[in-house]
Structure 1
Amino acid sequence: MLFNAGLNKRFWTEAASTACYVISCSPSISLDKKTPIEVWSDSLSDYSQLRVFGCATYAHVDNIKL
């Protein structure tokens, strides 16, 4: 994320924190497609605080091909 955003290595803590937050807001198959925040607090995830960090985004397509 830092390289794609063109940021210095001193921002690695913010990058790690952002990555953990995004993972916590992402649905999980092991939790019946709920987010960890929904399971923990019984409330829906709030995506209004997400901002562009500056990294490339890739979509996962599950079409069983390599």
Structure 2
Amino acid sequence: MTVVVLLGILLLVIVGCVCVYLDARGDGRRWVRVVAVVTIAAGEVLSRSGKRGRSSGGGGSGGDDD
């Protein structure tokens, strides 16, 4: 069951990336543009949440990753 869920998520990511690519080229229909906007927004949300998680760690190796 877990494999099916992970394959579904992978499929959604691939479709989202293809839609972003088609939208950037200007070859997409309206639904392609909508999927591209949703994909980019989801990427921004995940990126910001990842930065918050790393900055609130408080301690660690002491290295400068930025």
TM value normalised by structure 2: 0.35
Structure richer in helix, relative to its length: 2
Q: Which of structures 1 and 2 has the bigger CA Rg?
A: 2
